[in-house]
Structure 1
Amino acid sequence: MTLHLQMKTKGVLTLIGGFLLLFMNGSMFLWGQLNVYVTSYYRQKEDTNLDLSVGGAIFPVMMASFGLGLPLGIKLLKIFGQARISLLISATISCIMIIISSYTQRFYQFIIVYGIISGITQGSIFFVPIYLGYLYFPSNRGLVTGINSFGYALNSFLFGLIFFKLVNPNELPQISNSDGYSYFEGISVSVAQAVPQAIRSIGYIFLSVSIIATQLIMYHPDQIGEEEKRLKKNLQQQENEMKELDQIQHKLGLVDIQSNKKDSLQDQQQLQQIDLVQLSQLAFNKKVETTQLDEEIIQQKIQITNQLELQLENEFINPQVLKNFKFEEVQNSKNQQNEIFHHKKLAELIKLENPNRKQHKNSIISKVSTQEQQKYIEQKEIQNESDLQELKKRNAYIEEQLNSLGPPSIAVCFKQSQLYVSILLGFLAIGLGLIINGNYKSIAKDYKFSNESFQALEGSLGGFANGFCRPIWNLLLDKYSFKRILQILLLIEIITSLTMQFTSINKIFYAVWVFIIHITLGGVLGMWPVFCSQINGIKIGSQLYCFYWLGFTIANLFQFVIVMSLKTKIGFNNILYIYFAQALIGFILITYYKFEINWAKYYNEIPKNLQSQISLQKSQTLDNQLRLTISL
């Protein structure tokens, strides 16, 4: 028995499934906590010279791989038609790659398996539940993005604590090294040796929950690829009908050929008995349809001719005068002389396109008062003005709907400067959050906050801040503009980047600042899918989001290069001034640059689905007007 669920129920289940699925596949932001453990492990293997700054390379590599996987998810949805199938494949591969990474013997192998392959599959998962949530709740895109991305960011909060308990239950300290970093070696080498088993345990949890979560993702009839399938199905039906018609015509030809052969009368009778009744009925029906069509065409021509004659006869006649004239004609119809007289008066009533009142001052029109004529003209002007306003409203509605649909094609987007400025804005807005997320432990050591349990708790709280703030920022997006919300986030970044150095006096102060900066990180990452869909529409925006992610990837690579080259020279405090400049430029850009695009001008014709909406709206308007007239 098939279970039919309401659309709202399906939407809620999709949100729950998306939350759980992204919760299990958000290990990219977990790397800030795993780095020192994994680096320490491979230093005990064959990469003895591996340092923490090189280990940080996985973060930008994984983010770049994640961006490559983003468009793959929508393509897989289009291929399989069912999101639960495509997501099940991607999630299974992602989790298995995490498990396999625990068996690698060299750090570059770990980068390939954990960073690249798992990163690509995680990217193919990320946007699909968000996209389907948009289809189920088109008026609550902020809430949809917030719930899904909350799960993605929450991964680092929960599993950061779990990983710490698995590898370092005794809270053994890190040992300082001559390269300027600290590792788990010497008396705490057991922590590094426990890393593979901890990764495998987390991978099995990811896999089991992901399989269940994918089955909660529901099919939506308007998802990408479904319209093309419906069109192909209709085309196939038409082709089948044409084939049936060709077969009937072929059989008719066989009947004609056999009827001309005198020596095969018996075969002819057999062929005629096969389909003669059907063919005769078909020919009769076609003849009836043709006759009816001819009659309809003749009737339409008659109606058009009558309308044209009536229009020519009454084109310049004042309606009130016609009414008076018809009344007199009925009263004196018995008098032949009066009838001739009235026909003469009718001729006098014919006016020019721009009637001259002085010319007709003494004619029959003088029976109609000047006030009535003026009233008639005013009514016409009011009607014309009303029609004009209605036309403006209709055009405004069409333009609004076309803009909500987004661009007619992806190719049009690449011609707009807003796409590239948006990528730059993403690069500027996310920089501070990424460098803190990837290096908060190193900064804490520089500030002499080296307690391992404190750092683990700090990382988990940062992950929680990254996650829990996303629904809040996205709910605000449903009420306030993206511009206003991002201005607030950038102002927070400007303040925290300038004051971060003062947190070295107290670890609680430092933890609060890390928490706040992770709030800005989550806000930027959570709002960008909404920003993308607001500018480009849901369908095109889902395919373009990978290009917006490019700005985040470049920002992560940038922070990696900055830390590698400048950390030992100028220190983190001075590096943060670079991110102060980035946030300031981003604030100026979002304040003065216009990101909205009028997509309506790029449409050569109105899409069919929008035409049906306009026709429905027009019919509803006419019905309302009719009800109003009846009530009056």
Structure 2
Amino acid sequence: MVFQFSMKTKGVLTLLGGFILLLMSGSMFLWGQINVYVTSYYRQKDDANLDLSVGGAIFPVMMASFGIGLPLGIKLVKIFGQARISLLISTIISCLMIVISSYTARFYQFVIVYGIISGLAQGSIFFVPIYIGYLYFPNNRGLVVGINSLGYALNSFLFGLLFFKLVNPNGLPQISNPDGYSYFEGVSISVAQAVPQAIRSIGYIFLSVSIVATQLIMYHPNQIGEQEKRLKKELQKKESEMKELQQIQQKLELIDIQSTKNNNLQDLEQFKQTDIAQLDQLEVNKKIEIIQLEEEIIHQKIQIAHKLDLQQEYEYINPQILKKLKFEEIQSSENKSNEISQNQKLVELIVLDHPNRKQHKNSFLSEINTKPLDLEKYYDQKENQIEADLQEFKKRNAYIEQQLNNLGPPSIKVCFRQPQLYVSILLGFLVIGLGLIINGNYKSIAKDYGFTSDSFQSLVGSLSGIASGFCRPMWSLLLDKYSFKRILQILLLIEIITSLTIQFTNVNRIFYALWVFIIHTTLGGVLVMWPVFCSQINGIKIGSQLYCFYWLGFTIANLFQFMLVMGLKTKIGFNNILYIYFAQALIGLLLITFYNFKINWAKYYKEIPKNLQSQVSLQKDQTLDNQLRSTISS
């Protein structure tokens, strides 16, 4: 028995599957909680000199691998034709790598398996359930991304607590080491020895639950690649019809030639009794011509569908602009059908936009008498008309410039010549730094402040995961009401205050947990706000393609915090390192306040795009109608 679900039911199941799937694959931000356990394990197994700062290398490595894997997900959906199949493959790879990492004998092997390979697979998972969810709920995109992102953020909350229960159920303390960090060794070495089994247990949970979750991701007929497949099947059908008609045509021609030469009446009588004889030669030719035209149309549709699929490979990473992209594509297809009339209107627009005073002078000489008073009056009227035309010309130029700026740059090459691109990547590097260093080192900071309880540190990490997840819808709602500049200024002010005052939270563990919670809200804010910032600077389509460079900036920021901790923690301590992030936040605040990120893309267009020509022509027609009405009324 096959169950038939409605589209709404399929959409709900897809949302549920995406939430569970991302809940199982959000282990990148879990590393801040398990770093001390894994490092302690490899210290007693392989390298007694391995310190916690080196263990922190997995965080930036995994973040870089995750970013590389992001574009792979949509490509796999197109290859396999089913999101659940591509997700199943990526999920199995990711979870098995986590399990296999527990058997590695050396720390660098663990970095390769857990950090790089599993990170790539997790990156290919992340946006696929969000993308399919958008297809089912195109008018509720905020709901889709909110539910899926919440699952991703809750991973560190749930599995951070679970990992603690598996490896340290008795709450054994960390032992201070001369390198300035604390580890599970000596009387608490049993905690380190329990790490491999705990990783395997979590890996098996990820694997079993994720396999079920992938089957909840439903097929959508409009997903990437499906339209192109349908058109190719239709084209194959037309090609087979064409072959049959060509064979009939050849038989008709052959029999006609033979009958003409031999004048064989018996062959003619036999031929008349066949099905082929029922088809007239002209009719066959006509059908062939029709199929050829249909094939040509299908070829054009395949090209359009292919371009749309390529566009989706970029746009799904920045889902907040999906609706605008679809609107532009529909508008572009409508413009193609009216291309001739648009070109004519554009010619009329150009003629109208260049008023000629001599032309006006010559025209009125034939219309009125050459009396001085009449000439002066009519001349004044024409002068006023010229001024009105010039003003209208300026308005249309301003409108065209505004629309071209909304379209963004004409090509990605133009973006790479703009300093705003590199300054905006620098701004992302500056803004995300504080959240990354706290996320990766909050346990070490807590130990320095005297909060040595492992259960308390795990609880802080779990609450931080909630902060990073639940704050994202909040930042998104604020972006709908206020400008990006204003929201980012508020976020940076929060970073400035928290980076200067976190050292005073050593007097109370509740204050420390609250400060870490607040800092993680800024981390979630940057991750949800930056795709919008990217599209605002670089345009909708090109901005989607350039977002990977911003993720590269985030990865460099993560690597930078790792190098700072490894090189300076034992020398100047975390409090002094955080002053560096105070300086970064201050520089970021100055940049967003005083630097002009807006680019005049209109000057890089050599001609007006076709989808904009129709808008300009429509505006021009409306202007002429208004002028005509005013003339009639006067």
Q: TM-score, normalised by structure 2?
A: 0.74
Distance 1:95 1:611 in 2: 48
Aligned positions of 1:160-559 closer than 5 A: 160-226=160-226, 228-229=228-229, 232=232, 236=236, 239-240=239-240, 242-262=242-262, 266-267=266-267, 269-271=269-271, 273-280=274-281, 282=283, 354=364, 356=366, 358-359=368-369, 403=407, 414=416, 416-532=418-534, 543-559=545-561
Helix, strand or coil at the partner of 2:29: helix
Distance 2:605 2:81 in 1: 29
Distance 1:388 1:240 in 2: 56
Worse-superposed segment, 536-545 or 102-111: 536-545
User: For each residue in 1:392-434, what CA deviation from the matched residue of structure 2 results, as whole angstroms up to 9, or x when unmatched?
Assistant: 999699759x73xx76765665455444333222211110111
Alignment pair present for 1:73 and 2:76: no
RMSD (CA atoms): 4.4
Distance 2:184 2:256 in 1: 95
CA contact (8 A) 2:245 2:284 kept: no
Helix, strand or coil at the partner of 1:254: helix
Helix, strand or coil at the partner of 1:44: helix
For 2:430, the aligned partner's letter is L
Task: Using the TM superposition, give the Cα deviation of residue 84 of structure 1 relative to its aligned residue in structure 2, in angstroms.
Answer: 2.1
CA contact (8 A) 2:64 2:552 kept: yes
Distance 2:9 2:402 in 1: 30
Worse-superposed segment, 34-43 or 232-241: 232-241
Distance 1:479 1:142 in 2: 14
Distance 2:400 2:237 in 1: 36
Worse-superposed segment, 428-437 or 582-591: 582-591
CA contact (8 A) 2:41 2:195 kept: yes
The answer for the alignment partner of 1:130 in structure 2 is 130
Alignment pair present for 1:589 and 2:596: no
User: For each residue in 1:56-77, what CA deviation from the matched residue of structure 2 results, as whole angstroms up to 9, or x when unmatched?
Assistant: 1111111111111111112212
Task: Using the TM superposition, give the Cα deviation of residue 100 of structure 1 relative to its aligned residue in structure 2, in angstroms.
Answer: 1.5
Helix, strand or coil at the partner of 2:172: coil
The answer for the alignment partner of 1:16 in structure 2 is 16
Q: Which runs of 5+ in 2 are unaligned?
A: 291-361, 372-377, 627-634
Distance of aligned partners of 1:150 and 1:411 in 2 relative to their CA distance in 1, 3 Å threshold: farther
CA contact (8 A) 1:433 1:517 kept: yes
Distance of aligned partners of 1:131 and 1:531 in 2 relative to their CA distance in 1, 3 Å threshold: farther
Distance of aligned partners of 1:189 and 1:133 in 2 relative to their CA distance in 1, 3 Å threshold: same
The answer for the alignment partner of 1:60 in structure 2 is 60
Task: Using the TM superposition, give the Cα deviation of residue 552 of structure 1 relative to its aligned residue in structure 2, in angstroms.
Answer: 1.0
The answer for the alignment partner of 1:114 in structure 2 is 114
Aligned positions of 1:133-144 closer than 5 A: 133-134=133-134, 142-144=142-144
Distance 1:249 1:392 in 2: 58
User: For each residue in 1:136-180, what CA deviation from the matched residue of structure 2 results, as whole angstroms up to 9, or x when unmatched?
Assistant: 556665554443322212211111111111111111111112222
User: For each residue in 1:36-94, what CA deviation from the matched residue of structure 2 results, as whole angstroms up to 9, or x when unmatched?
Assistant: 11111112212222211111111111111111111111221222232222122111211
Task: Using the TM superposition, give the Cα deviation of residue 391 of structure 1 relative to its aligned residue in structure 2, in angstroms.
Answer: 8.3
For 1:188, the aligned partner's letter is S
Distance of aligned partners of 1:397 and 1:247 in 2 relative to their CA distance in 1, 3 Å threshold: farther
The answer for the alignment partner of 1:330 in structure 2 is none
Distance 1:472 1:193 in 2: 41
Distance 2:133 2:460 in 1: 32
Helix, strand or coil at the partner of 2:280: helix
User: For each residue in 1:528-556, what CA deviation from the matched residue of structure 2 results, as whole angstroms up to 9, or x when unmatched?
Assistant: 34444555677765554332211111011
CA contact (8 A) 1:94 1:119 kept: yes
The answer for the alignment partner of 2:322 in structure 1 is none
Distance of aligned partners of 1:425 and 1:237 in 2 relative to their CA distance in 1, 3 Å threshold: farther
For 2:68, the aligned partner's letter is L
Tell me which structure has the larger Cα radius of gyration. Answer: 1
Overall identity of the aligned pairs, in %: 73
Distance of aligned partners of 1:223 and 1:536 in 2 relative to their CA distance in 1, 3 Å threshold: farther
User: For each residue in 1:249-297, what CA deviation from the matched residue of structure 2 results, as whole angstroms up to 9, or x when unmatched?
Assistant: 423432333233317554455456442321246169789x9xxxxxxxx
CA contact (8 A) 2:17 2:213 kept: yes
Distance 1:70 1:280 in 2: 57
Task: Using the TM superposition, give the Cα deviation of residue 439 of structure 1 relative to its aligned residue in structure 2, in angstroms.
Answer: 1.0
Distance 2:145 2:403 in 1: 27
User: For each residue in 1:334-359, what CA deviation from the matched residue of structure 2 results, as whole angstroms up to 9, or x when unmatched?
Assistant: xxxxxxxxxxxxxxxxxx96475554
The answer for the alignment partner of 2:320 in structure 1 is none
Distance 2:135 2:561 in 1: 36
Worse-superposed segment, 32-41 or 540-549: 540-549
The answer for the alignment partner of 2:573 in structure 1 is 571
Helix, strand or coil at the partner of 1:261: helix
Distance of aligned partners of 1:281 and 1:140 in 2 relative to their CA distance in 1, 3 Å threshold: same
CA contact (8 A) 1:458 1:511 kept: yes
Task: Using the TM superposition, give the Cα deviation of residue 521 of structure 1 relative to its aligned residue in structure 2, in angstroms.
Answer: 0.9
For 1:57, the aligned partner's letter is A
Helix, strand or coil at the partner of 1:92: helix
CA contact (8 A) 1:434 1:556 kept: yes
Task: Using the TM superposition, give the Cα deviation of residue 183 of structure 1 relative to its aligned residue in structure 2, in angstroms.
Answer: 1.0
Task: Using the TM superposition, give the Cα deviation of residue 575 of structure 1 relative to its aligned residue in structure 2, in angstroms.
Answer: 0.9
Helix, strand or coil at the partner of 1:87: helix
CA contact (8 A) 2:259 2:267 kept: no
For 2:22, the aligned partner's letter is L
Helix, strand or coil at the partner of 1:216: coil
Distance 1:215 1:598 in 2: 47
Alignment pair present for 1:83 and 2:61: no
Q: TM-score, normalised by structure 1?
A: 0.74
User: For each residue in 1:91-133, what CA deviation from the matched residue of structure 2 results, as whole angstroms up to 9, or x when unmatched?
Assistant: 1211111112112222122111111111110111122233444
Distance 1:185 1:423 in 2: 42
Distance 1:134 1:502 in 2: 45
Distance 1:223 1:599 in 2: 32
Helix, strand or coil at the partner of 1:28: coil
Q: Which runs of 5+ in 1 are unaligned?
A: 290-351, 362-372, 626-632
